[in-house]
């Protein structure tokens, strides 16, 4: 026996019962072999318990939970698992039994280290637990590696082979720890934060209220605006303080100032040698930690008791200890930032800025302090400040005091058609798209503009929308009231399905992809189109000044690149940019009635309805679109442009590919169109499976909230926001034509969530009916909606005229179904 060769009382043994009564056909099915034991060194750990033991014909394992004397703070315990898989075991069932036990303990101890070791023979734990790491790379029996050691820590151990023990035919393995605690692997993060003392908002309001803003008045608008912004920034800095805080990677989230003071008091009492003071300090520290954890729990629960999705996700990340990986740029050197700035400005070609003549009879847009104050009071205080450094909190808290001077600046800017340079300045923060960025294209530019300038943009944008006709570009579904991706997909499919109801027909759908569409627009071309739409020349001149001569630099930490002046594109990060792009593309319309162009921002889809194999109109439409893009300086990305053909004819001829500028477009069998997976046979199995898979991932968070004893109301609210919203994404488009198996798969997710939440949840079918009626009602009340004409009342005025359908797939689509539901509800 092994214990006979070890010093007495140095080890304690945890073992599975290995007696003849256990080895029966109902247990392991063996009369010899197998059996497991785990030896724990007393010098390493005295606190260990057997948590689970299992014996079956396919697997034997023993799980022991240990709390060693020393353990890195990020780990709460170590769970050791000894495993034996017989050579003739069913590998799939063995791994299923073992993974179920490990998953159960991982849910119970999410911050524990798991070490799984033993004779696995022909099985591999990574097939069921892919996030576990195998540490044995040497042969353990002959030329085979039968003995494995897995853990949930990457690079935790190095395995070294040693001679056999006793009569064993397996080599022994010595594991050398290579795990470094988190505090050693990750440097503490030092952040500089702005501290807002109590009553700061009131102090700022008082100072701005008593400020004589007339002393900043200047005939030079740039100097006037910059001096006001500098004063607001300096005043804010004078009442706030900068504080450097150190964030340790293994710091507990409930740690606060009171607990730190109690820790210092305990350490001081220990060094003093006063036993009574030390005992009292320890008791106070224990109470303080308990109180801090209680307050932290209440704080987390508050995240789920309101309708703020941002705070809800913060609470969820806190409960699950979810840490996002935030890759940093390869370098913060100024030369690298200059390279990034030049790359982000690669579409800049020094476009000439054409002057727009100002007609005398055009009155300038005049804003009132009430309008400006209302916009300031709605500022999102969580948004990052722009290059001027003025936080949204100051503008929102002091909206009444700042409205007057900002109104004066805004009106002067609109009257003279000049935008202050400090309003146009853009600071770009490069965010890596992946964990290992290797090229400049691996960085995403996040543009920060002054918050005050965004407020001015909102007011001008409201004026734009008021001046434009409601029926302008009806098939542009982005940035408009009562328009959504659901409308775009519904109308696209309606045109296809209604056409396929006829004989000898098919449809071709071309999904266009543009390269950096927003960054290639010439402002002068945009101004000419706005003038043709009847926008006043004064506003057009102001807008041209807003889009040109824009200073841009790249900022990372405290370093900035040199400044580049931009004259091309509508800057991303500005409020008006998306709407201006939609106006720029309003003249992109089909020339033939058999074609349809569906637009959602820069996502453009050309639908060709083909009859009797005549594709001439469709191919001409694609050629015209390519010419339109060349004229308007938009770059077509042919490699990412895809085509999907819907053809139900049995003896259809092969379809020749479509070419754009001599390059053939790839044909696909399925495409993700505005979040909905469309297949060439218009079945929805692919779409439903994607939704179910994503919803199952969110169920993990729901189980985590349940395990943390949150109330059923909070669980239901979380389900409605994060799981139901996934399952019902564009549900009116696809649910009517779903197969029975797809509907059952969707409903199973609802039933699972219902068991977890402990409260009734609405069925998917009921949600579908409700959404159809709601969507139809909004379309009926909106005469400018492109689908409004599909809902026509009968002469009685009580019921709607049914759409004539021949096929089931068309009959079950959204618009015919909505008409039937409206008539049944009347």
Tokens of residue 497, six digits: 């399905």
Chain Cα centroid distance, residue 371: 33
Classified as helix, coil or strand, 509 is: strand
Mean pLDDT of the chain: 86
CA distance 24 to 815: 65
Q: Are residues 649 and 669 in the same domain?
A: yes
Decide: residue 636, CB within 10 A, 0-12 exposed, 13-18 middle, 19+ buried.
Answer: buried
Residue 314 lies in a domain: no
H helix intervals, 570-684: 577-584, 616-631
| Of the listed ranges 138-147, 218-227, 248-257, 481-490, the one predicted with least confidence | 248-257
Q: Are residues 589 and 727 in the same domain?
A: no
pLDDT of residue 142: 84
The residue assigned the tokens 């627009």 is 521
CATH, residue 87: 3.60.10.10
Q: Are residues 595 and 710 in the same domain?
A: no
Q: Are residues 639 and 490 in the same domain?
A: yes
Mean pLDDT of 134-146: 88
| Of the listed ranges 183-197, 307-321, 602-616, 678-692, the one predicted with least confidence | 307-321
Q: Are residues 478 and 563 in the same domain?
A: yes
Positive or negative, the Cα torsion across 809, 812, 814, 819? positive
Q: Reply yes or no on whether the pLDDT at 306 is more than 80.
A: no
Classified as helix, coil or strand, 632 is: coil
- How many domains, the chain? 3
Residue 464 lies in a domain: no
The b/e string for 373-387 (b: 16+ C-beta within 10 A; e otherwise) is: bebbeebeeeeebbb
Q: Are residues 76 and 50 in the same domain?
A: yes
Residue 148 lies in a domain: yes
Say which residues have a Cβ less than 8 Å from residue 9's Cβ, sequence separation at least 6.
42
Positive or negative, the Cα torsion across 467, 471, 476, 477? positive
Mean pLDDT of 267-271: 90
Confidence band (pLDDT; 50, 70, 90) for 36?
Answer: confident
Distance (Å) of CA 539 to CA 225, 363, 472, 546, 812: 20, 10, 19, 10, 48
Decide: residue 515, CB within 10 A, 0-12 exposed, 13-18 middle, 19+ buried.
Answer: middle
Residue 809 lies in a domain: yes
Confidence band (pLDDT; 50, 70, 90) for 14?
Answer: very low
Q: Are residues 673 and 697 in the same domain?
A: no
pLDDT of residue 187: 77
Residue of higher predicted confidence among 310 and 521: 521
Taking phi first (over 0 means left), then psi (-120 to 50 degrees means alpha), and beta for anything else, what does residue 408 get? alpha
CA distance 361 to 737: 57
pLDDT of residue 711: 81
Q: Are residues 783 and 656 in the same domain?
A: no
321-345: per-residue pLDDT in tens? 555 556 666 666 888 888 888 988 8
Q: Are residues 505 and 578 in the same domain?
A: yes
pLDDT of residue 8: 45
What letter would DSSP give residue 475? Answer: T
| β-pair partners for 555 | 560
| Residue among 204, 198, 192, 190 at smallest CA distance from 237 | 204
Q: Reply yes or no on whether the pLDDT at 383 is more than 50.
A: yes
CB distance 402 to 232 below 8 Å = yes
Mean pLDDT of 208-216: 91
Residue 292 lies in a domain: no
The residue assigned the tokens 């409700």 is 770
Q: Reply yes or no on whether the pLDDT at 13 is more than 50.
A: no
| Three-state SS annotation for 510-548 | EEECECCHHHHCCHHHHHHHHHHCCCCHHHHHHHHHHHC
CA distance 496 to 485: 17
Among 122, 150, 177, identify where a domain stops.
177
pLDDT of residue 330: 61
The H helix count followed by the E strand count for the chain is: 26, 26
Q: Are residues 713 and 653 in the same domain?
A: no
Q: Are residues 761 and 659 in the same domain?
A: no
491-517: per-residue pLDDT in tens? 999 999 999 999 999 999 999 999 888
Among 177, 209, 242, identify where a domain stops.
177
Distance (Å) of CA 180 to CA 66, 71, 75, 80, 153: 19, 11, 12, 19, 10
CA distance 153 to 131: 9
Confidence band (pLDDT; 50, 70, 90) for 302?
Answer: confident
pLDDT of residue 807: 92
Among 115, 145, 177, identify where a domain stops.
177
pLDDT of residue 331: 65
pLDDT of residue 324: 56
CA distance 165 to 37: 15
How many C-beta atoms lie closer than 10 Å to residue 552's C-beta? 22
The residue assigned the tokens 């690079």 is 155
Residue 737 lies in a domain: yes
Mean pLDDT of 553-566: 88
How many C-beta atoms lie closer than 10 Å to residue 161's C-beta? 13
CB distance 379 to 451 below 8 Å = yes
| One-character DSSP codes across 355-420 | PPP--TTPPPP---HHHHHHHHHT--TTSPP-TT---HHHHHHTHHHHHHHHHHHHHHHHHHT---
CA distance 58 to 630: 67
Helix axes 451-467, 399-416, angle to 10 degrees: 60
711-749: per-residue pLDDT in tens? 888 888 889 888 999 999 999 999 999 999 999 999 999
pLDDT of residue 316: 67
406-426: per-residue pLDDT in tens? 999 999 999 999 999 999 999
Q: Are residues 657 and 719 in the same domain?
A: no
| Residue among 19, 79, 80 at smallest CA distance from 55 | 19
* Residue-range definition of the domain harbouring residue 710: 684-824
**Nearest-5° angle of CA 352, CA 355, CA 360?**
170
Confidence band (pLDDT; 50, 70, 90) for 185?
Answer: confident
H helix intervals, 577-615: 577-584
**Nearest-5° angle of CA 253, CA 258, CA 259?**
55
Distance (Å) of CA 296 to CA 195, 309, 382: 21, 19, 21
Residue 212 lies in a domain: no
Residue 666 lies in a domain: yes
The residue assigned the tokens 């079950």 is 812
| Of the listed ranges 30-34, 253-257, 509-513, 566-570, the one predicted with least confidence | 30-34
pLDDT of residue 15: 40
């Amino acid at each position: 026996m092994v214990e006979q060769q070890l010093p007495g009382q140095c080890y304690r043994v945890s073992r599975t019962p290995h007696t003849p009564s256990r080895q029966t056909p109902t247990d392991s099915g063996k009369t010899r072999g197998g059996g497991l034991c785990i030896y724990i060194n007393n010098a390493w750990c005295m606190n260990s318990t057997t948590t689970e033991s299992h014996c079956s014909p396919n697997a034997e394992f023993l799980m022991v939970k240990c709390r060693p004397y020393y353990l890195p703070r990020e780990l709460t315990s170590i769970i050791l698992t000894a495993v034996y898989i017989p050579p003739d075991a069913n590998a799939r069932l063995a791994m299923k039994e073992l993974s179920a036990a490990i998953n159960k303990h991982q849910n119970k101890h999410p911050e524990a280290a798991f070490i799984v070791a033993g004779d696995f023979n022909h099985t591999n734990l990574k097939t069921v637990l892919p996030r576990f790491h195998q540490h044995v790379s040497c042969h353990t029996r002959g030329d085979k590696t039968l003995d494995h050691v897995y853990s949930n820590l990457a690079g935790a151990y190095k395995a070294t082979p040693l001679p056999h023990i006793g009569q064993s035919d397996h080599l022994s393995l010595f594991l050398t720890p290579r795990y470094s605690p988190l505090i050693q692997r990750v440097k503490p993060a030092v952040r500089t934060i702005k501290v807002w003392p109590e009553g700061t908002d009131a102090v700022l309001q008082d100072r701005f209220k008593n400020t004589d803003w007339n002393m900043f008045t200047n005939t030079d608008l740039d100097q006037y605006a910059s001096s006001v912004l500098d004063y607001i920034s300096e005043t804010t800095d004078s009442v706030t303080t900068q504080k450097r805080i150190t964030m340790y990677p293994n710091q507990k989230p409930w740690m606060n100032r009171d607990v730190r003071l109690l820790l210092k008091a305990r350490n001081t009492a220990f060094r003093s040698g006063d036993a009574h003071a030390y005992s009292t300090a320890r008791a106070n520290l224990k109470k303080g930690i308990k109180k801090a954890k209680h307050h932290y729990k209440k704080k987390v629960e508050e995240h789920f008791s309101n309708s703020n999705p941002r705070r809800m996700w913060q609470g969820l990340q806190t409960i699950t200890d979810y840490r996002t990986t935030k890759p940093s740029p390869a370098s913060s050197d100024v030369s690298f930032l200059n390279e990034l700035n030049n790359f982000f400005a690669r579409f800049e070609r020094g476009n000439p800025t054409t002057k727009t003549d100002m007609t005398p009879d055009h009155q300038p847009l005049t804003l009132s302090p009430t309008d400006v104050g209302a916009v300031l009071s709605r500022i999102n205080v969580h948004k990052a400040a722009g290059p001027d450094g003025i936080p949204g909190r100051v503008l929102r808290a002091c909206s009444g005091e700042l409205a007057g001077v900002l109104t004066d600046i805004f009106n002067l800017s609109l009257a003279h058609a000049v935008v202050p340079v400090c309003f146009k300045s853009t600071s770009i923060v490069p965010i890596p798209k992946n964990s290992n960025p290797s090229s400049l294209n691996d960085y995403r530019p996040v543009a920060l503009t002054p918050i005050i300038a965004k407020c001015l943009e909102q007011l001008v944008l409201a004026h734009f929308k008021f001046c434009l006709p409601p029926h302008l570009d009806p098939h542009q579904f982005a940035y408009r009231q009562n328009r959504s991706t659901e409308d775009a997909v519904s109308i696209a499919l309606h045109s296809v399905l209604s056409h396929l109801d006829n004989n000898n027909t098919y449809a071709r759908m071309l999904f266009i992809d543009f390269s950096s569409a927003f960054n290639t627009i010439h402002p002068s071309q945009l101004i000419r189109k706005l003038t043709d739409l009847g926008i006043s020349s004064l506003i057009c001149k102001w807008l041209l000044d807003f889009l040109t001569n824009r200073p841009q630099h790249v900022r990372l930490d405290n370093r900035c690149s040199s400044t580049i002046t931009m004259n091309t594109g509508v800057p991303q990060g500005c409020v008006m940019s998306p709407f201006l792009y939609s106006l720029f593309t309003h003249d992109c319309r089909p020339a033939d009635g058999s074609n349809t162009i569906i637009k959602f921002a820069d996502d453009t889809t050309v639908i060709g309805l083909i009859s009797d194999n005549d594709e001439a109109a469709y191919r001409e439409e694609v050629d015209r679109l390519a010419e339109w893009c060349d004229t308007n300086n938009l770059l077509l990305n042919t490699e990412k442009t895809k085509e999907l053909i819907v053809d139900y004819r049995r003896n259809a001829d092969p379809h020749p590919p479509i070419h754009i500028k001599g390059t053939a477009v790839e044909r696909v069998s399925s495409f993700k169109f505005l979040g909905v997976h469309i297949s060439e046979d218009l079945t929805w199995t692919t779409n439903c499976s994607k939704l179910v898979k994503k919803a199952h991932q969110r169920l993990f968070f729901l189980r985590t909230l349940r395990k943390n004893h949150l109330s059923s109301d909070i669980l239901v609210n979380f389900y409605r926001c994060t799981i139901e919203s996934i399952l019902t994404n564009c549900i009116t488009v696809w649910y009517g034509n779903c197969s029975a198996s797809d509907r059952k798969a969707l409903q199973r997710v609802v039933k699972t969530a219902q068991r977890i939440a402990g409260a009734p949840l609405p069925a998917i079918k009921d949600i579908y009916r409700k959404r159809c009626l709601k969507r139809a009602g909004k379309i009926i009340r909106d005469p400018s909606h492109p689908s409004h004409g599909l809902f026509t009342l009968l002469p009685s005025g009580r019921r709607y005229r049914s759409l004539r359908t021949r096929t089931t797939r068309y009959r079950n689509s959204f618009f015919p179904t909505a008409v039937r539901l409206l008539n049944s509800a009347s």
